Amino acid sequence: MMAGASPLSGAVEILPADGELTGAARFTVADTETVLPGHYPGFPIFPGVCLVECARLSAEATLPGEAKGAALAAVESTRFTGPVFPGDQVDIDLVWKRTPAGDWQCRAKLSTRRGPAASVRLRFAHPAGEAAAA
């Protein structure tokens, strides 16, 4: 996604991490989010693509040291398991691991006070020809 092209109006808040390969963040879905009026009129639900964007922004902000400079290469999987409504706080827990190919995989679990909302698996890779940071 190009810089500035995010569908989110609000900011993802990055929280202190428990370790190098974990991360945490949160996002509060304001009533003023620009994606809500058309999704769905009279019964607004925060779109799944916006949950993926929350995961992406959180992942980019918590890249492990060795992964610095890596960019999103793929959204490997998504599963939407519960609705997210205006006013909800979305808690985002991230776990990182290195893949056998040398890329970095981020597994994000997103939840609200009602329980799980989504799981997203992202893969980050260094641009071709660039070595990973040592």
Catalytic positions: 39
User: Among residues 46, 121, 133, 128, which one has the least CA distance to residue 90?
Assistant: 46
CA distance 10 to 83: 18
Q: 106 to each of 4, 85, 129, 130, how far by Cα in Å?
A: 22, 25, 22, 20
CA distance 96 to 81: 21
CA distance 32 to 131: 42
